[in-house]
Every structure is written in C-alpha cells, then in structure tokens.
Chain A
C-alpha cells in the first residue's frame, strides 16, 4: 500500500508538557483519514509538525517517502496543502487577490486556475469583497482554496467545521468528498465532531494523550459499531449450530457470549435453542456509535 504520510514514534515536547508521545500513524494515499481525539490530544501538534511549522523533538515522519530529516521534505511539502486551525488568509484582500498571492508565492506560471478554484469552493461571486467581511464558512472555504493552489495531492484540514452553521458544515463536507473523489486528493481531517467524520472518513486514527490508540478502516469501524444482539447462553456450540442453520451472521465472544447480527424472533430462537439443550441467560440489543466506540477506546487506554 502507498502512503501519503507515515509517522514513527513522533514526539513533541514543550516546556513541561508532552504534546506527542511516540505517535505512529499511517495515512494511505487516496484516503480520507479521520484523525479523532479530544481537545489537547495532540491532533494540531501533529499537523504543525508535518507542515513544518514546528520541529519534532523525537521520532520521524515520511511525507510521500521523503523523511523529515532529508532535504527532499521541502519538495514533498509542495504536494501538500493545509489549513491549520484558522485559515491563513490576508483579511484586507479579496478572495481572488488572496489566491493571486498564493499563486505568486508558489511561482505558478499563470493565474488560469483561480476562477476554477473560486467556483469549486463556492466563492466565485464574492467579487471585490474583502476577506475580513466574509462569514466564518466563507473564510474556511477560502482557506481550503488557498491550500488547493498548486494542485496538491494531500490536503490537511484541522477542525474544518468548527464554528460552522449546519449549512456550512454540509458545504464543507460536500467539498471534501468532491476533492477526494474527483481529484483523488488524500485528505487528513482532524476533528472531535465524530458524527460528522463518520460521513466522510475511509480510515480512522484515534489519538489520546499524544499517542495513537488505534488505526482502522471505515469497514473495520463499521464492523465494530455494527448493530447486534448480544446473547448470553449456556452453550455457544449449540447457538452456533442453530445460527448456522438459520444462515445468520454472528461472532462468538467467549464460551457463553455471542454477538448476533440480525433481527431475531426471540420466541422462535428460544424454542430452537431449547431443543438443542441450550438456554438463553440474557439478551440485549447493542448499537455502538462512533462516539461511544471512541469513549470505550479512550476509557480502555486510561485503565
């Protein structure tokens, strides 16, 4: 698998505070990687390190196979666009002038792509309106447009929907999906708004106290959060025979417990199991959200 970003035991220590404590993560190329963690978990610190705003105090990272200690990292950074916390925009300039500045800075030969970018982020009709008069959502979109100058392969968005109204959230979500699907841009989104991330991400990284707790794909997460009935029985062997006979998907957790992934007719199930000499002790419906999954992960770490 090809990776846009890989970090290995990355560390960042400030005076008396460790923000990243040996973080290892892998962002596959072409993915929308949801970087999940509570405030202060180290999400923004990681982004600052990979964007070159700060230097790690330990460990290393690779951006498109260029190590952070090598000279090639500057070139690799040119393949990356980022919005770190608040959008980096000139408030006294219009959206178009902001993009012109970025084009000049990147040394792009002409300004042809500016109109397309403005249309893409929905700022095509802002004219000479200065960025300081933009709404929060418009500024966020302008920040994304700036990060898209130079056609990056990798886009890093730090809390892109913070403070946005529902309409703004939908617009940013659609934009992110469009960029990933139509331009095949790898996207790393840090957020603590989990339900929103669940609508976008193809991969997840859960971080807490500067360490990666778990990395998984959206399929794996879906599997973990799948709606099921957790059954406690006297004999999981009998249960397994019955469920196999009924063609129902299930997962045996231990010799007395199993998760059954189907809507069950409890009476019929109880009768069938009884014929096999197995009794049902408890049955409970289980529906884990991304949020509760994360809480269980973090809680597990803390124990």
Chain B
C-alpha cells in the first residue's frame, strides 16, 4: 500500500489536470474575495468565513481532476503494472481513493490560503473561533471526500477516459443542481410565514435531502457556518463514502481488465 501511495503521489504532482485545478482553486477564491472586499467599506471588520466562498465549484474540479487522473491509469494501462506486481485490487482502489482525496484536500487548503491572502491584509485577521473554523473545514472535507468517492466509482465502472470524464462532470453537475434546489427550497420554507406547524412528508424528504446532498451541506456551511445538523451530515457523508467505496471495490474486483 505504501509503495502504491508513493507512486500515486508522485504521479499526482505531475498530473496536469491536478495542477490546473489547483491554480483554479487559487484564482477563483482570490477573485471572489477581491469582489467581497470591494463591496465592503474599509474598516468594516474581518471577512469571517470568506475562505469558504471558493468551495462552491470544488465538486466540478474534483470531477475533472479525479476522472482524468484515474482514467489515465486505465487508458495508459499503467493499472496493469499494479495488478501484475501482485497488489490486490482492493488495495489498488483504496490507494487511489487516498491519493485523490488528498489531492482534493490540497485544493480545499489552497482555497483557504488564496482567500486569506486577499481578505486578511485587506480587512484584518478573522475573529471567529478557530475551533469553529476547523469544524467547518471538516464538514467541507467530508463533502469533498463524497465527491471523490463518487467520481472514483464512476471511473471504475466506465473504462473510456472521455466517457468517464464526461459522466463524472455530469454526475457532479446533477449533485450540484440538486443541492442548490434543495437548499433553496429549505431556505424559502424557513423564510415563509409559518402557516402551519405541521411537518409534512415532503418537509421530511426535503430536510433529509438537505442533510444528505453534499452541495446543500456546502451551502449550509457557508450560510450557517456550523449547521444545526452537522453531526447528521457527517454521518451521512461517512455512510455515502463507505457504500460507494465498497461498491467500487466489488465492481473493480470482478472487472476484466484489458
């Protein structure tokens, strides 16, 4: 496993898609932070939580980078070398997951760093408790890991690099739109005058989806900083990662490699 991780990391840092995604995760938060800075009056205080703004599109970037990274292993047949070297398929899959999730984490950290490079000198150091910031980042990391597990699963099912990239991006896009929609429904519901205190089945479904969907979790973190259902969200994420990874390993084990 350690040997595979070593190979994976050295390949990751040489991967063009990963490098481009890192650059985007630096440029986009910087731009969004600069816009926020320009909209607030000088001396208006620190921009707490601004470092999360650039995370909105991280799912798409993960979709692009993970699918290119993993599919390259299939298309260049370098995956064959790992199997022929005697590694079990479960170990190969887990090593890929660890490497790609680390790459996604680096993108998340890059987002924080890039935003802070603009926000802190312009409006001063953040004043929110450090522990809260860490909790927020942990929830966002869980979201990032769910996206990574999803894309890895897609790339295991689909062999063709072009198809894997396209399907991954589409899947992430669907998650993104679903997350936005559910978040929007939940927020509107909260803002509407309470006609009745009765909780309908539809409310329950929307609330569950709100807690389950990674993109709505992301919005929740951005809006509420520490969402009320944070623990539930983390549990849902852990379950989703476990289910998708287990499914991926089972499929990969049975797969005929060409």
Contact = CB atoms under 8 A, between A and B. Distances in A.
Given A101-B11, A104-B6, A104-B7, A88 B85 contact: no
Interface in A1-43: 14
Contacts of B81: 88, 102, 105, 146
A82 B84 contact: yes
B115 to A, nearest CB: 31
B16 interface: yes
B191 interface: no
Chain B CB within 10 Å, residue with most, of A54, A91, A104, A107: A104
B77 A84 contact: yes
Interface string A85-100: 1111111110000000
Chain A CB within 10 Å, residue with most, of B7, B80, B258: B80
Contacts of A74: 86-88
Interface string B14-50: 1110000000000000000000000000000000000
Nearest to B255: A54
B86 A48 contact: no
Chain B interface mostly helix, strand, loop or mixed?
helix
B84 A51 contact: yes
B202 interface: no
A53 interface: yes
Given A74-B86, A101-B10, A90 B16 contact: no
Interface residues of B, number: 26
B223 interface: no
A53 B6 contact: no
A106 B3 contact: yes
Contacts of A52: 83-84, 86
Interface in B74-121: 76-88
Contacts of B257: 48, 53-54
A104 B10 contact: yes
A106 to B, nearest CB: 6
Contacts of A51: 80, 83-84
B256 interface: yes
B4 interface: yes
Given A105-B4, A105-B7, A106-B3, A53 B256 contact: yes
Nearest to B82: A105
Contacts of A81: 84
Contacts of B88: 74
Contacts of B10: 101, 104
A75 B86 contact: yes
B4 A88 contact: no
A75 B85 CA distance: 9
A9 to B, nearest CB: 20
B217 to A, nearest CB: 35
A50 to B, nearest CB: 10
Contacts of A84: 77, 80
B244 to A, nearest CB: 23
Interface string B111-142: 00000000000000000000000000000000
Interface of A: 14, 48, 51-55, 74-75, 77-78, 80-82, 84-93, 101-102, 104-107, 146
Q: Which 4 A-B pairs have the closest CB atoms?
A: A74-B86, A88-B77, A53-B257, A54-B256
